Structure 1
């Protein structure tokens, strides 16, 4: 015997997606708690992410330049950190 598909309101879908975002719980756990299919909840979450991404404004020229500067600074800081980590390991393994 075939079962009819359940229809969920947009409000219910939004509430389920907010539960995932705010609780930090995995989709599978929230789906079990709500009694819905994990794949269905994953689809709702992906659609919400796409919708949020579509609402974002593109970066201005100055914002792009600032972002590029941050990326360069981040790269430099990581290189310095890695160098200091290797130096600390070297000096720890070669006592006087």
Structure 2
């Protein structure tokens, strides 16, 4: 049976784990694949790339963690602003007799 995932998709999913330092479990949940399957993809990608990846040092890991927190905050801010814009647009419509 042919895999429903293209080689490019498998490599990209594996790179999410390798490049970001996130766990296989977290990435697997995010993209909706099994942990064991993603683990095989990661192992294959590491073998393909020669395993020459150096782990992040303490400063790089701290910066990555800070940036992840910042991205999460910005996503929450963006979601809030979208809801606020929708709320004020609906109030404006009611005042103009549209509703």
Place the TM-score, normalised by the shorter chain, in its bin.
0.3 to 0.5
Normalising by structure 2, report the TM-score: 0.46
Greater RCO structure (CA 8 Å; 6+ sep): 2
Compare CA radii of gyration and give the structure with the larger one: 1
